[in-house]
């Protein structure tokens, strides 16, 4: 059974099919040329006469031209296939080469498209496992920050208050300064824990989580955020909500870290056919090279079947849009 399958695959291999096509084309051209010379009144003398040279030259030119046209037509799909190979990127799916009606090369094109489908499916599965592990590690670190470091700092803060109340007057001011430093450290630990594990997303939902994220971003960076979040959003699964939150988080981080923006707009609106998350700023733009953050956003978008577009002309700010199609965002 296996041997028969291999034989069938070999018989349909593109190399053999292409060889047979080229052999047939060249055979046809030379057969026609031979028949023309045999049936026409033209003859070739020995030695060759000068009057016969134009006849031979024209015949050779016609055969070469016919051969070139037929080969060019037959091999044209290979140029398109080569171009696709050069530009293909698994982070930008759905780039496929349609069958051009050339049955000899359609099998090669279909095989290449099937290979891209398998590679994108494998990459999507690998990215899903990696992101799931990343989220699990973030939750673990956030829990340790809150339960261990946060509680330890709280105990230190209470002990400092107790000591400051009993300390001499000349030491109280210094102890109060230490208290404020510990309190600031405790707040920073809490902010890091919230960024790692958005508890408000699990407890209060996406709307409240995006509002809290924008408020924390404005407080930490000093950049005001204009929010426009629809209140009548469709029911979303946990995975979709987490992807929307993480992409909004990364978009705001990029606006503060790279864009040097003075104003940011964040919106999540229901559109015909799906949802649209948009993060735009008035920064310097020109974000051409995609770093780890941008590739992470694209990987998350692929996990839920969404489409991510980034427009960043030099000096024109950056506009990040995530479009989630209808049906993907429904909770199970």
Is the pLDDT score of 239 beyond 90? no
C-alpha count within 13 angstroms, C-beta hemisphere, residue 221: 22
Percent of the chain with pLDDT over 70: 72
Taking each helix axis from N to C terminus, what angle separates 14-39 and 53-87, rounded to the nearest 10 degrees?
160
Do residues 247 and 322 touch, judged by C-beta distance below 8 A?
Answer: yes
State the pLDDT at residue 40.
65
The mean pLDDT of the chain is: 76
The reported pLDDT for the residue numbered 93 is 60
Half-sphere exposure of 40 (CA within 13 A, CB side): 12
| Residue 330 banded pLDDT, cuts 50, 70, 90 | very low
The pLDDT of residue 4 is above 70 = no
pLDDT at 109 over 70: yes
What would the pLDDT profile of 186-195 be if each residue is shown by its tens digit?
Answer: 888 877 777 7
pLDDT at 181 over 70: yes
- 90 or 299, which is more confident: 299
Residue 8: predicted pLDDT: 43
Name the residue with higher pLDDT: 289 or 10: 289
Average pLDDT over residues 221-242: 86
Question: Which tens digit of pLDDT belongs to each residue from 302-328?
Answer: 888 888 888 888 878 889 999 998 765
pLDDT at 11 over 50: no
User: What is the rounded (10 degree) CA torsion for 223, 201, 231, 317?
Assistant: 30
What pLDDT shows up at residue 326? Answer: 74
pLDDT at position 10, please?
A: 42
The tens digit of pLDDT for each residue in 70-95 reads: 667 666 667 677 777 766 665 566 66
Where residue 285 falls (left for φ over 0; alpha for ψ -120 to 50; beta otherwise) is left
Q: Where are the alpha helices (DSSP H) in the chain?
A: 2-11, 14-39, 53-87, 103-144, 151-166, 169-196, 199-204, 206-221, 238-257, 292-303
Q: What is the mean pLDDT of residues 258-272?
A: 86
Report the C-alpha gap between 318 and 314 in whole angstroms.
9
Q: Which tokens is 295 given?
A: 């590739």
The pLDDT, as a whole number, for residue 303 is: 81
Could you report the per-residue pLDDT of 42-64, keeping only the tens digit for each? 565 666 567 667 766 776 777 77
Q: What is the pLDDT of residue 18?
A: 60
Residue with more model confidence, 127 or 182: 182
Give the CATH architecture of domain 205-332.
2-Layer Sandwich (3.30)
């Amino acid at each position: 059974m296996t041997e028969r399958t291999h034989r069938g695959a070999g018989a349909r291999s593109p190399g053999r099919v292409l060889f047979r096509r080229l052999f047939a084309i060249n055979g046809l051209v030379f057969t026609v040329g031979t028949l023309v010379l045999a049936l026409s009144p033209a003859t070739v003398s020995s030695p060759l006469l000068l009057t016969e040279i134009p006849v031979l030259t024209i015949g050779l030119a016609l055969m070469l031209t016919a051969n070139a046209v037929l080969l060019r037509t037959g091999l044209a799909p290979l140029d398109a296939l080569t171009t696709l190979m050069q530009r293909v990127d698994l982070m930008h799916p759905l780039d496929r080469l349609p069958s051009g009606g050339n049955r000899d090369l359609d099998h090669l094109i279909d095989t290449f498209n099937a290979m891209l489908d398998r590679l994108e499916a494998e990459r999507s599965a690998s990215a899903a496992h990696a992101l799931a592990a990343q989220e699990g590690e973030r939750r673990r670190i956030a829990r340790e920050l809150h339960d261990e470091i946060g509680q330890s700092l709280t105990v230190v803060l209470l002990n400092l208050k107790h000591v400051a109340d009993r300390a001499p007057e000349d030491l109280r001011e210094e102890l109060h300064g230490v208290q404020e430093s510990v309190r600031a450290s405790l707040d920073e630990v809490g902010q890091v824990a919230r960024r790692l594990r958005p508890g408000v997303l699990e407890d209060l939902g996406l709307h409240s989580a995006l509002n809290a994220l924008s408020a924390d971003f404005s407080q930490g960076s000093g950049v005001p955020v204009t929010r426009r979040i629809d209140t009548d959003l469709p029911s979303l699964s946990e995975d979709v909500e987490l992807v929307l939150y993480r992409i909004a988080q990364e978009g705001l981080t990029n606006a503060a870290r790279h864009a040097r923006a003075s104003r940011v707009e964040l919106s999540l609106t229901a559109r015909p056919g799906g949802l649209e998350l948009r993060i735009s700023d008035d920064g310097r733009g020109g974000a051409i090279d995609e770093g780890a953050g941008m590739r992470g956003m694209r990987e998350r978008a692929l996990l839920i079947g969404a489409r991510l577009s980034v427009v960043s002309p030099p000096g024109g700010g950056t506009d990040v849009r995530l479009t989630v199609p209808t049906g993907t965002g429904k909770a199970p």
